[in-house]
């Protein structure tokens, strides 16, 4: 026997090649502001990309980093890599060059596909990556990009030029690792969660089909980017699971950009994070259908959707928001509200295919109404973190995945989010570690000590708040200093991570061993 089974478990079979075999090659798969891609054209681009990777000596199971804005090149590169058995690693384009360099080094990427506007800032870190052999530069509009000075760089079209229009996917086991997604932790560096081929199909069969009820005629628009697990499902694998269409927005999803996209493409399903829903509600242009006369479903994840935001959206737009919780480790949403049964202020109920438990500190199941840690058994959990045994063992225990989230279940089976068991903060749906913000603050010459907590703004959305002890009387007035510190954090670690409020204090509450007691600051801040 040559292979370990008869059926090819390679996910590109189900999500892409199946549509060609069943006569859907001419259907529209993706539209970005400049270009469109049918299922047939996507199969062709991904075949050429797969062949070019192999011809370039990028072997099976090796990693290719994808640092791409949301354009039609993303699915072409993602599925091309999977077709070749090469492991795509989508990377958050909002990270700093150092953080991106860390991920490329950690996964030992041998190739990188990068959107041309993101290349110049990467210059200094690319020189530090000996494993990186090819840098494929893609201009968002498909034009010939500026390659910069790196000898490893080649344009997207040139890279694809010699490949065949059709290439069969490599044979892969359904249990074989297909792609990785990095997630940041409370301490230290991001961890690469390794996902297998069958998990993509599992999330499509559970959440997308049974909760969203996605249909071939749907048009999906995910404001959350494809490099997030949330966006990867919403904006790529879910529509592809039924031969539907996705709309891609490469720009920052500001309310203006999102509403313009809604009007232009008239999506029937829209996915965003709570901060975006709140920002859209504050926009004077928001009205029925949020600009799309076809809108029938809205979904939210990444952080808890405040009840008031959900209610106001339903009133103004006329479509409910389905809040659901997912994670990078479980790939997509495993608890969700259902159409027609929305209970704002809760994450909803278990998604079919996932089993949930809330456990107390002794590991015993908590009674309804009692808080505990949420653990999940399901068909889409990751195969572990790359090169992180202790963290893998802690999170993936047998069939159960430990979320680190505190939840309670009410007697009707609805799950209520009660916060994190670590100090991590979700800001606009993206992780922020308080330690990272504190370190950035302390790196400023005026700051002696800092402590950061999550604090709810007027919409009920959590943002970082900092308590700062200064080194000595600063000659700068407090208001100016606060603004300087905010700018300092933005520049060092990323624009969404800065503390929206800074309180200058004399000292911080600490344990006998000198650990900052963030829970005390949280309690004080609530009063
Ligand atoms: C928090 C929520 C309350 C929660 C994600 C949908 O967010 C995603 O993945 P991440 O790995 O973060 C996971 C953590 O985020 N969270 C997410 N959604 C909610 N908290 N209510 C929610 N609705 O702490 C969770 O453990 O970045 C979301 C699909 C795929 C995803 N990866």
- Kindly give the number of the ligand 1 atom that is closest to the alpha carbon of 335: 23
Global model pTM greater than 0.85 = yes
- How many other CB atoms sit within 10 Å of the CB of residue 481? 19
Q: Strand 333-336 and strand 349-350: pairing? A: antiparallel
Residue owning the nearest CA to atom 13 of ligand 1 = 327
Q: What is the distance in A from the centroid of ligand 1 to the CA of 391?
A: 18
Paired strand residues for 323? 300
Residue owning the nearest CA to atom 10 of ligand 1 = 327
In the DSSP assignment, the letter for residue 184 is -
pLDDT of residue 5: 58
Q: What is the distance in A from the centroid of ligand 1 to the CA of 403?
A: 9
SS3 for 58?
coil
Q: Would you call 389 exposed, middle or buried from its count of C-beta atoms within 10 A (0-12, 13-18, 19+)?
A: exposed
Buried b or exposed e, range 19-31, using 16+ CB within 10 angstroms? bbeeebbeeebbb
Q: What is the distance in A from the centroid of ligand 1 to the CA of 419?
A: 11
Q: Would you call 361 exposed, middle or buried from its count of C-beta atoms within 10 A (0-12, 13-18, 19+)?
A: exposed
Residue owning the nearest CA to atom 6 of ligand 1 = 326
Residue owning the nearest CA to atom 8 of ligand 1 = 327
Q: What is the distance in A from the centroid of ligand 1 to the CA of 264?
A: 29
Q: What is the distance in A from the centroid of ligand 1 to the CA of 325?
A: 5
pLDDT tens per residue, the chain (527 residues)?
A: 455 557 899 999 999 999 999 999 999 999 999 999 999 999 999 999 999 999 999 999 999 999 999 999 999 999 999 999 999 999 999 999 999 999 999 999 999 999 999 999 999 899 999 999 999 999 999 999 999 989 999 999 999 999 999 999 999 999 999 999 999 765 568 999 999 999 999 999 999 999 999 999 999 999 999 999 999 999 999 999 999 999 999 999 999 999 999 999 999 999 999 999 999 999 999 999 999 999 999 999 999 999 999 999 999 999 999 999 999 999 999 999 999 999 999 999 999 999 999 999 899 999 999 999 999 999 999 999 999 999 999 999 999 999 999 999 999 999 999 888 888 899 998 888 888 899 899 999 899 889 999 999 999 999 999 999 998 877 888 999 999 999 999 999 888 899 999 999 999 988 776 778 888 898 888 77
From 202, 324, 325, 427, give the residue whose CB has the most ligand 1 atoms within 8 Å, as the site to mutate.
Answer: 325
Q: What is the distance in A from the centroid of ligand 1 to the CA of 382?
A: 15
Q: What is the distance in A from the centroid of ligand 1 to the CA of 320?
A: 19
Residue owning the nearest CA to atom 20 of ligand 1 = 303
Q: Would you call 57 exposed, middle or buried from its count of C-beta atoms within 10 A (0-12, 13-18, 19+)?
A: exposed
Domains observed in the chain: 11-16+39-182 (3.40.50.980), 200-377+386-420 (3.40.50.12780), 424-526 (3.30.300.30)
pLDDT of residue 517: 85
Residues with Cβ within 8 Å of 512's Cβ and at least 6 positions away in sequence, in order, are none
From 426, 433, 460, give the residue whose CB has the most ligand 1 atoms within 8 Å, as the site to mutate.
Answer: 426
- Dihedral angle sign, alpha carbons of residues 520, 522, 524, 527: negative
Distances (CA, A) of 274 to 256, 296, 304, 308, 460: 16, 18, 7, 11, 10
Ligand 1, CB cutoff 6 Å, lining residues: 183, 229-230, 301-304, 323-328, 332-333, 347, 403, 405, 417, 420, 426, 429, 431
Q: What is the distance in A from the centroid of ligand 1 to the CA of 346?
A: 14
Distances (CA, A) of 411 to 255, 351, 368: 38, 17, 6
Q: What is the rounded distance in angstroms from the CA atom of residue 142 to the CA atom of residue 345?
A: 43
Distances (CA, A) of 452 to 434, 491, 508, 521, 523: 5, 17, 11, 9, 13
DSSP letters spanning 264-284? HH--SEEEE-HHHHHHHHTST
CA angle 421, 431, 429 (to 5 degrees): 105
Residues with Cβ within 8 Å of 161's Cβ and at least 6 positions away in sequence, in order, are 48
Q: What is the distance in A from the centroid of ligand 1 to the CA of 3?
A: 37
Q: What is the distance in A from the centroid of ligand 1 to the CA of 302?
A: 4
Cβ atoms 486, 493 nearer than 8 A: no
| Token output for 226 | 């494809």
Q: Kindly state the greatest CA–CA separation across the chain.
A: 77
Distances (CA, A) of 462 to 106, 473, 489: 31, 31, 17
Q: What is the distance in A from the centroid of ligand 1 to the CA of 30?
A: 25
From 200, 327, 382, give the residue whose CB has the most ligand 1 atoms within 8 Å, as the site to mutate.
Answer: 327
Residue owning the nearest CA to atom 28 of ligand 1 = 326
Buried b or exposed e, range 141-171, using 16+ CB within 10 angstroms? eeeebebeeeeebbbbeebbeebeeebebbb
pLDDT of residue 504: 93
Q: What is the distance in A from the centroid of ligand 1 to the CA of 158?
A: 38
From 180, 229, 302, 376, give the residue whose CB has the most ligand 1 atoms within 8 Å, as the site to mutate.
Answer: 302
Query: What phi, psi does 178 have (nearest 5°)?
Result: -110, -40
pLDDT of residue 525: 82
Residue owning the nearest CA to atom 31 of ligand 1 = 327
Cβ atoms 403, 397 nearer than 8 A: no
DSSP letters spanning 286-317? --GGGG-TT--EEEE-SSPPPHHHHHHHHHHH
The candidate with the shortest Cα–Cα distance to 376, out of 330, 422, 413, is 330
pLDDT of residue 514: 72
In the DSSP assignment, the letter for residue 4 is S
- Kindly give the number of the ligand 1 atom that is closest to the alpha carbon of 404: 26
């Amino acid at each position: 026997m040559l292979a370990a089974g008869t059926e090819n478990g390679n996910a590109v079979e189900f999500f892409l090649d199946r549509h060609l075999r069943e006569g859907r090659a001419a259907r529209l798969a993706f539209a970005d502001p400049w270009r469109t891609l049918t299922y047939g054209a996507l199969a062709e681009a991904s075949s050429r990309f797969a062949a070019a990777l192999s011809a370039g000596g990028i072997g099976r199971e090796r990693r290719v980093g994808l640092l791409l804005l949301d354009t039609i090149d993303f699915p072409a590169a993602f599925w091309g890599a999977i077709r070749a058995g090469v492991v795509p690693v989508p990377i958050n384009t909002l990270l700093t060059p150092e953080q991106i360099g860390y991920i490329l080094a950690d996964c030992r990427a041998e190739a990188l596909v990068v959107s041309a506007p993101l290349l110049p800032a990467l210059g200094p870190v690319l020189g530090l990556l000996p494993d990186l052999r090819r840098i494929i530069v893609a201009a968002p509009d498909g034009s010939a990009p500026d390659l910069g000075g790196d000898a490893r760089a080649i344009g997207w079209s040139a890279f694809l030029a010699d490949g065949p229009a059709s290439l069969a996917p490599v044979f892969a086991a359904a249990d074989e690792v297909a792609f990785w997604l990095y997630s940041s932790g409370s301490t230290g560096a991001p961890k690469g969660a390794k996902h297998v081929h069958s998990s993509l199909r599992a999330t499509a069969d559970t959440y997308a089909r049974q909760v969203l009820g996605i249909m071939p005629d749907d048009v999906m628009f995910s404001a959350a980017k494809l490099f997030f697990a949330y966006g990867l499902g919403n904006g790529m694998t879910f529509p592809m699971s039924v031969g539907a269409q996705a709309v891609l927005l490469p720009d920052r999803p500001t309310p203006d950009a999102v509403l313009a996209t809604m009007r232009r493409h008239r999506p029937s399903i829209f996915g965003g994070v709570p901060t975006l829903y709140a920002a859209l509600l504050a926009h004077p242009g928001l009205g029925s259908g949020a600009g799309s006369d076809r809108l029938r479903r809205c979904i939210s994840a990444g952080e808890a959707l405040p009840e008031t935001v959900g209610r106001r959206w339903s009133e103004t737009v006329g479509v409910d928001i389905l809040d659901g919780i997912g994670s990078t480790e479980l790939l997509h949403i495993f608890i969700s509200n259902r159409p027609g049964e929305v209970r704002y202020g809760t994450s909803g109920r278990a998604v079919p295919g996932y089993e949930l438990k809330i456990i107390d500190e002794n590991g015993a199941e908590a009674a309804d109404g009692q808080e505990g840690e949420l653990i999940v058994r399901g068909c889409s959990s990751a195969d572990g973190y790359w090169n992180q045994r202790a963290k893998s063992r802690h999170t993936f225990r047998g069939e159960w995945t430990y979320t680190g989230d505190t939840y309670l279940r009410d007697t009707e089976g609805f799950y209520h989010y009660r916060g994190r068991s670590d100090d991590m903060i979700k800001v606009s749906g993206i992780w922020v570690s308080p330690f990272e913000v504190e370190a950035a603050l302390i790196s400023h010459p005026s700051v002696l000590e800092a402590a950061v907590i999550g604090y709810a703004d007027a919409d009920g959305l959590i943002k970082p708040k900092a308590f700062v002890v200064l080194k000595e009387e600063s000659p700068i007035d407090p208001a100016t200093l606060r603004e300087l510190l905010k700018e300092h954090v933005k520049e060092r670690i990323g624009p969404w991570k800065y503390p929206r409020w800074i309180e200058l204090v004399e000292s911080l509450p600490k344990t006998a061993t000198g650990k900052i007691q963030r829970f005390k600051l949280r309690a004080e801040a609530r009063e």
